[in-house]
């Protein structure tokens, strides 16, 4: 396995832990793989960026499918459960620059960190954005293009900007 590490290539031994049968499509970029754990059978689509950080961890559970063109920035930590579906173009952010004095550019202000947790069996629609500090419960579904600003309860369907509850998933 050799692909980009931001610049250059990465290999299995670069990761904190990596399972069997993990697929990295062409163009995947990985930063700080030493802070990334990926479970068995995970799939990472073309041109996805897994940007771990010098602290905190990114954990991707076994059997999780990540579509092409995603961007995961785990400065605050990301924990993705098992068998999670993540559509193309999804963004997961775990830090934000706080506002400060008007004389100071926002980018120079302090960062606040908030980990993101996506529990087992959830599904994140194409182009959704998950903001810092969010937990998406087990079996929840996030609609395409949603901007998730609040936690999502297990087995709940949300959509919109900001995401709002549409309904609970029905038991079989």
Catalytic residues: 97
> What sign does the CA torsion over 106, 31, 151, 123 have?
positive
> For residue 134, which of 113, 157, 155, 109 has the smallest C-alpha distance?
113
How buried is residue 31: exposed, middle or buried, by Cβ count under 10 Å (0-12/13-18/19+)? buried
Q: Are 30 and 47 in contact (CB under 8 A)?
A: no
Cβ contact 120:130 at 8 Å: no
């Amino acid at each position: 396995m050799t692909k980009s590490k931001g610049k250059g290539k990465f290999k299995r031994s670069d990761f904190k832990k990596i399972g069997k049968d993990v697929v990295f499509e062409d163009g995947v970029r990985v930063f700080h793989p030493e802070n990334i754990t990926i479970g068995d059978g995970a799939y990472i689509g073309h041109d996805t960026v897994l940007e771990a950080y010098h602290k905190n961890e990114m954990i991707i559970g076994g059997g999780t499918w990540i579509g092409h063109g995603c961007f995961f920035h785990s400065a605050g930590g990301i924990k993705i459960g098992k068998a999670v579906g993540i559509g193309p173009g999804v963004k997961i952010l775990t830090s934000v620059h706080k506002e400060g004095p008007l004389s100071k550019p926002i980018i120079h202000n302090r960062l606040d960190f908030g980990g993101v947790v996506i529990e087992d069996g959830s599904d994140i629609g194409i182009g959704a954005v998950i903001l810092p500090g969010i937990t998406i419960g087990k079996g929840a579904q996030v609609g395409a293009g949603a901007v998730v600003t609040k936690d999502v309860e297990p087995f709940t369907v949300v959509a919109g900007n900001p995401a709002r509850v549409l309904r609970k998933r029905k038991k079989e």
